[in-house]
């Protein structure tokens, strides 16, 4: 039986009298790519922000690995292994690519005064391990040749890949991605999703907002369609694509 990583039960979030998210319930299980699609303004990013603790839910509950996280703050949710890669990459532009990866790593023992003063070999060993892990991820994303280049010199597509790499560097159990292929050329976008598919084979799970439906539908195992704050359709990508209500959501056709 598949493990349920993320369970959303009756979640609502409103701003004033407007419900951006209205009574949504869904499950995300392990080792798969899950898609969340819908027109602009349908509430997708608000749902993600509510899951991540950036917004507090007005109704309902959210569970991650059987623990209620509804009232946790973002860093507590991050500590549990629920990680977010931003739609607009948030990079330290003057730091090189490798240093941006290292900043995203966990368990920097040298940050603690006691370790930095009295356990130098221990934290140095950990820093070497983190650097090796960062280079392994950069090789996977085909960014290893840019490891010592300033992040500010990357192209838009390369910046997106680095943001994905930072998310992987944080050792997530579930990684939320918001439009990873936006602004990326088609070949690089497909390559990015191929890397995501490879990572799924290791047990990592992804929940992805994406407007490039031709890419998402080629790789996702299950897709949720959102409109006006609600989940209006769900299923395997071919089933969703053949459903007339899917086109109604996007085009308004009866």
Each residue of 112-147: pLDDT tens digit? 555 555 555 665 677 788 899 999 999 988 899 999
CA 253 to chain centre: 32
In the chain, how many domains are there? Answer: 2
**Of 216, 213, 212, 182, the residue nearest 196 (C-alpha):** 216
Mean pLDDT of 173-184: 90
Q: What burial letters (b/e) apply to 2-16, b meaning 16+ CB within 10 Å? A: eeebbbbbebbbeee
Q: Which two tokens stand for residue 73?
A: 């703050």
Same domain, 146 and 185: no
The tokens for 101 are 């990866």
Query: How far is residue 102's CA from residue 134's CA, in Å, rounded to a whole number?
Result: 7
Q: In terms of domains, do 78 and 122 share one?
A: no
Q: Is the same domain home to 110 and 82?
A: no
The larger pLDDT score, comparing residue 239 to residue 17, is at 239
The verdict on residue 9 lying in a domain is yes
Range of the domain at 114: 93-153
CA distance between the termini of the chain: 39
Give the pTM.
0.88
Q: Which residues contact 15 (CB under 8 A, 6 or more apart)?
A: none
- Do the domain assignments include residue 164? no
Judge whether residue 182 has pLDDT over 80: yes
Q: How confident is the model at residue 3 (pLDDT cuts 50, 70, 90)?
A: confident
Q: Is the pLDDT of residue 107 over 80?
A: no
Answer yes or no: do 108 and 217 share one domain. no
Assess whether pLDDT exceeds 90 at residue 243: yes
Q: What is the mean pLDDT of residues 241-251?
A: 90
* 52 and 82 Cβ atoms separated by less than 8 Å: yes
Nearest in space to 245 (alpha carbons), one of 225, 218, 221, 220:
225
Residue 21 shares a structural domain with residue 33: yes
The pLDDT value recorded for residue 169 is 92
pLDDT in tens, 76-102: 999 999 999 887 788 989 999 999 999
pLDDT at 21 over 50: yes
Q: What pLDDT is recorded for position 110? A: 47
CATH of the domain at 53: 3.40.50.300
Q: What is the pLDDT of residue 253?
A: 55
CB-CB contact of 245 with 233 (8 Å) = yes
173 pLDDT more than 70: yes
Mean pLDDT of the chain: 89
My answer on whether 71 and 192 are in the same domain is yes
- pLDDT for position 215: 93
Name residue 13's beta-bridge partners: 21
Which of 89 and 218 is assigned the larger pLDDT?
Answer: 218
- DSSP-assigned letters across all residues of 60-88: EEEEETTEE-TT--HHHHHHTTEEEE-SS
Report the SS3 class of residue 204: coil
Per residue in 35-90, pLDDT (tens digit) is 999 999 999 999 999 999 999 999 999 999 999 999 999 999 999 999 998 877 88
């Amino acid at each position: 039986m598949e493990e349920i990583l993320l369970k959303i039960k009756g979640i609502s979030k409103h701003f004033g009298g407007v419900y951006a998210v209205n009574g949504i319930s869904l499950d995300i299980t392990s080792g798969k790519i899950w898609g969340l699609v819908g027109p602009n303004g349908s509430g997708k990013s608000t749902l993600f922000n509510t899951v991540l603790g950036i917004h507090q839910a007005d109704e309902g509950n959210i569970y991650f690995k059987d623990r209620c996280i509804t009232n946790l703050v973002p860093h507590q949710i991050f500590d549990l292994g629920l990680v977010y890669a931003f739609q607009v990459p948030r990079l330290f532009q003057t730091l090189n690519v490798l240093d941006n990866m290292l900043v995203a790593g966990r368990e920097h023992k040298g940050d603690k005064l006691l370790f930095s003063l009295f356990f130098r070999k221990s934290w140095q060993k950990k820093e070497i391990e983190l650097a090796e892990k960062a280079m392994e991820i950069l090789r996977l994303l085909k960014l290893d040749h840019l490891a010592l280049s300033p992040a500010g010199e990357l192209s838009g597509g390369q910046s997106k890949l680095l943001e994905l790499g930072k998310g992987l560097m944080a050792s997530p159990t579930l990684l939320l991605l918001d439009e990873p292929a936006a602004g990326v050329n088609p070949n690089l976008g497909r390559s990015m999703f191929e890397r995501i598919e490879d990572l799924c084979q290791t047990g990592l799970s992804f929940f992805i907002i994406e407007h490039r439906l031709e890419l998402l539908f080629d790789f996702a195992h299950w897709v949720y369609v959102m409109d006006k704050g609600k989940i209006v359709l769900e299923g395997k990508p071919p089933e969703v694509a053949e459903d007339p209500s899917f086109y109604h959501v996007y085009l308004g056709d009866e």
